[in-house]
Amino acid sequence: MKLYCKYISAILKSTMEYKLSFFLMVIGRFLISFSEFIALSFLFSGFTQIKGYTYSDILLCFSVMQMSFAIAECIGRGFKVFSSMVKRGEFDRILLRPRSTILQLLGMRFDLGRIGPLATAIITLIIGVRKSQILWNTGRIITLFFMISGGTLLFLSLFMFGATFCFFSIEETELTNVLTYGAKEHGKYPIDVYGKGIMRFCTYIIPYTLIQYYPLLYLLGKTDNWLYALYPFSVVFFLLLCYGFWRLGLRNYKSCGA
Partner 1 sequence: MITMENVCKSYKVAKRNAGLKEACKSLFHRETEKIQALSNISFTIQDGEMVGYIGPNGAGKSSTIKILSGILTPDSGTCMINGRIPWKNRIQHVKEIGVVFGQRSQLWWDIPVIDSFELLKDIYSIPTPNYNRKLEELTELLQLQEILKTPTRQLSLGQRMRCEIAASLLHEPKLLFLDEPTIGLDAVSKLAVRDFIKKMNAEHGTTVILTTHDMQDIEALANRVILIGRGKVLLDGTLDDMRRTAQSGENTNASLDQLVADLYQNMNIL
Q: Which residues bind partner 1 (CB under 8 A)?
A: 2-3, 6-7, 10, 13-14, 17-18, 88-89, 92-93, 95-99, 104, 251, 253-255, 258
Please, what's the b/e burial string for 242-257 (b: 16 or more CB within 10 A of its CB; e: otherwise)? beebbeebeeebeeee
> Which residues are CB-contacts of 247 (< 8 A; sequence separation ≥ 6)?
none
Select from 111, 104, 79, 85 the least CA-distant residue to 242: 79
CB of 76 to partner 1, least distance (A): 20
CB of 116 to partner 1, least distance (A): 21
CB of 2 to partner 1, least distance (A): 7
Nearer of residues 50 and 103 to partner 1, judged by Cβ: 103
Name the 3-class secondary structure at 30. Answer: helix
CB of 9 to partner 1, least distance (A): 9
Nearer of residues 91 and 218 to partner 1, judged by Cβ: 91
Please, what is the end-to-end C-alpha distance for the chain in angstroms?
Answer: 33
Number of Cβ within 10 Å of residue 169's Cβ equals 9
CB of 170 to partner 1, least distance (A): 10
Nearer of residues 196 and 254 to partner 1, judged by Cβ: 254
Nearer of residues 17 and 224 to partner 1, judged by Cβ: 17
CB of 163 to partner 1, least distance (A): 17
What is the DSSP secondary-structure string of 193-245? GG-HHHHHIIIIIS--TTTTHHHHHHHTTS---GGGGGGGGGHHHHHHHHHHH
Nearer of residues 104 and 143 to partner 1, judged by Cβ: 104
Q: How far is residue 42's CA from residue 38's CA, in Å, rounded to a whole number?
A: 6
Nearer of residues 82 and 208 to partner 1, judged by Cβ: 82
